[in-house]
Structure 1
């Protein structure tokens, strides 16, 4: 596989692919993973290399471009957008030993790297510059598609570390039978006693080996840049579906829903809420990126970024609820995009990045209270 040479921007490539996704959404969901030909198209478009260092053959896109790419894809199909954002693990090559990165790139010039960063693994010293790693990690989106998997682990009392392993070293346990995001293939992965050379492990909270602004983003900000576009794209797709449905659906009194005052008011409220959420995310991302050009962005700016992404997900949940209540039982069938997006945002919202503990930390920072720096 060669490194892609692109004649258009990543956003244009994403828009081209996204235009085909509504017609493939049922296929993605039924197969419980993004189909191989679609993965190949996303690879060829360079969209799994958005966060990979340019010095290693990736796009090393600016954060706002990353947000917009994921937003566009998530508007086309939620599971595909999520798979692409989780599949940005090649960006972690910026933290990896250069010799290890070169070995990975020899096997896959633009690798698809997914995994689970939760520190659920344990490691013991294996001697000769290696650890022996054991663990089980749930919610490993796209794990069956990956060339390499990144997993979090602890060794003794030290801070968590990440390890990169080839897909062949990992067992996938088919566990992803869920309410929403069915097409993400977020199965459990596990292995026991796998020997991992130290050069394939790294500290995600420490400085990257590649000196570039994207890799000055602390861990949480780096993660949220990848995730920010998802709730925006999903929320806008829900509002678009909402609008199309009420223009043709009638209530029991045979009045078009679009002609009823309550639906008119709700459509206005939902469209405005999504636009405001997008503006806040774009503003917060831009502020962090501007500060990152010369230093690590301030805690206040990073907290605003986290808060904006959390707010975007809350808006997605809100508009999904409004749309389903207004549009009625016809939207309960699996063929209905609105029903699928309703399930998808409920499921995606369970990610720790959107959780109450993360929200609490944002508030603590904004109130000038002490929070561990790597958690902001």
Structure 2
């Protein structure tokens, strides 16, 4: 099946509801394959086929190469929806779409290398500078290791950060290089308590030749300057770094919403709290209060997450560069949303009790997946808050420039 939306064009607002409907329609399939995917340490094949055939790995790719050029708000909402069914599947879709978005910063030559054989190619990314690049004519020779390569089992291409020792003061220039996974080694080192099916293994490159045109300079990747290959591709006039960091929180939103749904549905059946002599948990004041606090925390996190996404999209429409102050506040929105979602999930686990950790209860997998996913290096709550605190206090932000 081919997605009705692939290459369809149109605005993100016009198509957002359609993408959400498509994502929601796949939830039964994703839920069905989640346990088997975790056991196999890769997203279940049936889930992969469904996501691929519906264009959900390439939703944010340029229209010119078969994508739909969807914006940050759509990315966040769709990934959240998918993550209700299977957090690892939602996570890989998030990584793939952030990478597809990054293709908007590359020229047609590089885009066609990836998508020229068909629009259902999956590309992933590891934005950390795990490699080095040595100039050689019109190419760079790349060597390096990129851990946490989510979706490595499915990907044909990857984009990884590299350092070029070219600056006169000895400071390495940063770029992001497009590389074929077939020319790399995949090290199977992803053995974890949660998010096992994300396949976040290590990619290794040795003497890999990459055309200079397949790399993205720091200023363009970070959105301090625009790589405007086509004037009509306004969605890409922003910071990939900001979009990707914010998108990391979308699976967390989906997971906590799934935990909420499980808790709420079971509560309607009149589940007792036997140790406290409540025949119906809803009769317990403490249980009701916990439910209200959890819902409020979820909503608060959602408001911060979507506000940040809307701000990114608004700036892109206007063709305006996000200021350092705005980037700093977006990082704080990440932190607030993460803490709110984590607090809500812990409350919901309390309300469900020890039965939540039975292996046949999906809540225990959600809890483990959330624990791992919420601690991604680019979603470090104390450090993101510190960035915002520096900005609010009017302190020098130079130390954070390359992280924003």
Say yes or no: TM over 0.5.
yes
Structure 2 CA distance, aligned partners of 1:271 and 1:44?
34
**Superposition RMSD in Å:** 2.2
Q: In the alignment, which of 121, 132, 156 is matched to residue 141 of structure 2?
A: 132
Say whether the 8 Å CA contact 1:163–1:202 is kept in structure 2. yes
2:321 maps to what in 1?
296
1:208 maps to what in 2?
227
Given the superposition, is the C-alpha separation of residues 251 and 188 from structure 1 closer, same or farther in structure 2, using an over 3 Å criterion? farther
Residue 374 of structure 1: how far off its partner (Å): 4.8
SS of equivalent residue, structure 1 residue 311: helix
Name the stretch that deviates more: 229-238 or 82-91. Answer: 229-238
Q: In the alignment, which of 162, 172, 194 is matched to residue 176 of structure 2?
A: 162
CA shift digits 1:87-119 (9 cap, x unpaired): 121222212232122222223434211131110
Given the superposition, is the C-alpha separation of residues 190 and 213 from structure 1 closer, same or farther in structure 2, using an over 3 Å criterion? same
Is 1:316 the counterpart of 2:335 in the alignment? no
CA shift digits 1:197-239 (9 cap, x unpaired): 2222222531324343322222332213433422221221222
Residue 245 of structure 1: how far off its partner (Å): 4.4
Residue 254 of structure 1: how far off its partner (Å): 4.1
1:284 maps to what in 2?
308
Structure 1 CA distance, aligned partners of 2:28 and 2:2?
24
Say whether the 8 Å CA contact 1:4–1:44 is kept in structure 2. yes
Say whether the 8 Å CA contact 1:205–1:374 is kept in structure 2. no
Structure 1 CA distance, aligned partners of 2:204 and 2:264?
44
1:77 maps to what in 2?
86
Is 1:92 the counterpart of 2:86 in the alignment? no
Residue 249 of structure 1: how far off its partner (Å): 4.5
Residue 177 of structure 1: how far off its partner (Å): 1.0
TM, length-normalised to structure 2: 0.86
Residue correspondences, number: 374
2:4 maps to what in 1?
5
Name the stretch that deviates more: 259-268 or 280-289. Answer: 280-289
2:363 maps to what in 1?
338
1:243 maps to what in 2?
264
1:270 maps to what in 2?
294
TM, length-normalised to structure 1: 0.92
Structure 1 CA distance, aligned partners of 2:273 and 2:89?
32
> Unpaired segments of 5 or more residues in structure 2?
9-14, 166-170, 221-225
Structure 2 CA distance, aligned partners of 1:23 and 1:171?
31
CA shift digits 1:313-357 (9 cap, x unpaired): 112211222222332222222321111111111101211222022
CA shift digits 1:233-253 (9 cap, x unpaired): 122122222334454243324
Residue 53 of structure 1: how far off its partner (Å): 1.4
SS of equivalent residue, structure 1 residue 176: coil
SS of equivalent residue, structure 1 residue 172: strand
Given the superposition, is the C-alpha separation of residues 56 and 225 from structure 1 closer, same or farther in structure 2, using an over 3 Å criterion? farther
